[in-house]
Amino acid sequence: MMDFHKGRWRLALGRLVNLRYINRWIIFSADLFVSLSVSLLGVLGMFSILHIRIGESDVLKVGLSSFVASIVSFLLFKAYHGVIRHSTLRGLWRIGGAAIGKSLLMFLLLWLLKARFSPSIYWLGGIMDSTLTIVMLVTLRVFVINVYNSVLLQLGKKRKRVLVFGTEEESVMIATSANRQVFMQNYSIMGFLSFGNSKKSIRIAELPVYQIENVEDLYRLIPRNSLDGVLFPNIKVAHQERDRLIRYCEQASLKTLVVPEMEELRGGEAKRSVREIRIEDLLGREEIHINLDEIGNLLEGKTVLVTGAAGSIGSEICRQLAHFPIKKLVCFDSAETPMHNLRLELEEKYKELNFVPVIGDVRSPDRVDYVFRNWHPQVVFHAAAYKHVPLMEENPCEAIRTNVFGTRVMADAAVSYGVEKFVMISTDKAVNPTNIMGCSKRLAEIYVQSLSLAIERGEVKGETRFITTRFGNVLGSNGSVIPRFREQIAQGGPVTVTHPDIIRYFMTIPEACRLVLEAGTMGKGGEIFIFDMGEPVKIADLAKRMIELSGLQVDKDIEIKYTGLRPGEKLYEELLNNKENTKETPHEKIRVAAVREYIYKDVVEHINVLTEVSLRVQILPMVKEMKAFVPEFKSQNSRFEELD
């Protein structure tokens, strides 16, 4: 029976906590009751202390005057507005104004009602009434806040108990405002955590500050506070601690949490919320700064076409373009459902954006011509491509048709319709390619570059400037390693890695797209821009880190299984081949590759042959032609090695 009542009590408390706010008219009524009580008890108390008799009629006049004055003043100053537990200094000013206004109006009404009080009583009573009203109204709000916090403590076992890392202003603000923030409602702040060896007892905002020097110190804090995790004030701080405190938390099986900065919440529509630290947060680098003014000048008032718009890179380019004053955004993709999802997102988050979703295939000259003829884009970002290495080894003709012929269709249409700039998205797999996908992207680079050179030399009539951007793997893209590892960990493993020594370059999708926009702005035509990808990451280490971030142990909880290199896969990627070097640009993260020049006429002949044999699905003749035209293409772990 006791357990039943305890359960009902906790259920009632839970419902109380989940109330977002108390109805303002309930607050108004409570304030009115407090104000009326203060006036009546205050006047009676004052007259009793001064040994002055007061008649019943004067008591009624005090009550009536206080009632009317309180209603008028509280409505005028809106002291009942706002959520009590989120009370601010502005709210206190409203209470003060309402209390003083009420006292002045009340004693004015008493004078009009001819209450039998001396002038000194009016002055003394007014000061006393306004002071006591302020005190009692503030006390009421403090009482409500304390009751709310007490209820939260009663339910504390259901909330995650965390320490906030750091004692800087941002950390203190998060801790002190935790009970007032919706995004913190599932967490109890037990104190602050910092590095140091001070033995002094330090408290900030009534919360203890725990100092640690090593992981053993952190272990000792866990049972003392029944800790569930450590909360970082922002992603930048978490990134700085990736090799120290986050490692300690992984060893101690503590959750690592972060409060995302508001700018991370795209479009201003999402609600701020605490989330677990992801591997992407630890792999990211310092924020990449781009010249927004130059990009804005390039795009202002123009129609922009993005191919592959529903893919990982294309959709992020669309999101970033939405922040610039473009005339129209044309989103072109062959995937119906992802395009529908992109449409819903753009409609919801960027209500002022003028955009057109178009379903179509870059391999269809008629459909591409229709798009250019109807919307006349002035800037094109060409992100449409097949990108998965094993699939393209198995379907090489489709790689040529989409990545090479599709690029040619888009580039030729851009020239025909007078596009100002054409920016193609390429990959580091195009450098010394070891697979069909990489070679197909290198062929696309060669076509775009040779066409740009032909325009410059007057061999082809046109004014379009062609720019190519080349970068490595992006974090979190569709079908990439991180989402796959995350899914395998959630399923209990094993986590599959192809080879213990395989390494890759990584970049977040937003920073890659920012650099694409920057390169598109600075490009004069014919360049291949390469991006600073940072330090390469060993995939096996990445898998281990993701397992540990999930609070699990490698081999004990989750096994890492090595499956062998896939067809066309190599141990490492390069951004430049052996015969290429780079030149600097105004942006420290972007360089220009000095690459071999090709004659446009020769390139067209080779691509015509490749296109013809791909349409006939003559695989071996097609791959032979690819290797003849791109001699650095040497197949690895592939059935096409015999053709080298």
Q: What is the pLDDT of residue 16?
A: 46
Determine which of 193-197, 213-217, 462-466, 528-532 has the lowest per-residue pLDDT on average: 528-532
Report which DSSP code applies to 566: P
How far is residue 566's CA from residue 570's CA, in Å, rounded to a whole number? Answer: 8
- What does the pLDDT look like over 368-424, one tens digit per residue? 999 999 999 999 999 999 998 899 999 999 999 999 999 999 999 999 999 999 999
The CATH number given to 159-277 is 3.40.50.720
Residue 90: per-residue pLDDT? 55
pLDDT confidence tier of residue 25, bands split at 50, 70 and 90 = low
Range list for CATH 3.40.50.720 in the chain: 159-277, 292-473+505-534+579-642
Q: How confident is the model at residue 5 (pLDDT cuts 50, 70, 90)?
A: very low
Residue 386 zone, left/alpha/beta (φ > 0; ψ -120 to 50; rest): beta
- Residues that are catalytic: 429
Token duo for residue 67: 């009632």
Band the pLDDT of 34: cuts 50, 70, 90: confident
Q: Pick from 53-62, 177-186, 301-310, 582-591 the range whose average pLDDT is largest.
A: 301-310
Q: Which of residues 232 and 48 earns the better pLDDT score?
A: 232
Mean pLDDT of the chain: 80
As given in the structure block, the two tokens for residue 194 are 């910092």
**Which pLDDT score, from 0 to 100, does residue 147 have?**
65
pLDDT for 483 beyond 90? no
Which residues 6+ apart lie within 8 Å of 144 measured at CB? 22, 84, 85
What is the pTM (predicted TM-score) of this model? 0.66
The phi, psi pair for 508, rounded to 5°, reads -70, 150
pLDDT reported for residue 102? 76
pLDDT-based confidence at 84, cuts 50/70/90? very low
- pLDDT tens for 286-308 read 556 667 778 888 889 999 999 99
pLDDT greater than 50 at residue 4? no
- Residue 103: per-residue pLDDT: 74
The interaxial angle of helices 436-456 and 600-615, nearest 10 deg, is: 140
Query: 426-437 pLDDT, tens per residue?
Result: 988 888 898 999
pLDDT in tens, 93-152: 677 777 777 777 777 776 777 666 666 666 666 677 777 777 777 777 777 666 665 655
Q: Which of helix, strand or coil describes residue 380?
A: strand
230, β-bridge pairs: 163, 256
Average of pLDDT values for 179-203?
A: 76
Q: With a cut of 90, say whether residue 546 has pLDDT above it.
A: no
Confidence class for position 17, pLDDT limits 50, 70, 90 = very low
Q: Average pLDDT of 237-241?
A: 85
pLDDT at 503 over 70: yes
pLDDT of residue 18: 45
Question: How far lies 398's CA from each of 254, 404, 431, 613, in Å?
Answer: 47, 10, 20, 11
**Considering the chain, what percentage of its residues have pLDDT values greater than 90?**
28
Q: Whose structure tokens read 């970068």? A: 471
Residue 612 has what pLDDT? Answer: 95
Residue 477 has pLDDT above 70, yes or no: no
Which of 254-263, 313-322, 546-555, 591-600 is the most confident on average? 313-322
> Domain 292-473+505-534+579-642's class?
alpha beta
Edge to edge, the sheet with strand 528-531 lists: 355-359, 328-333, 303-307, 379-382, 421-427, 465-471, 528-531, 590-594, 581-584
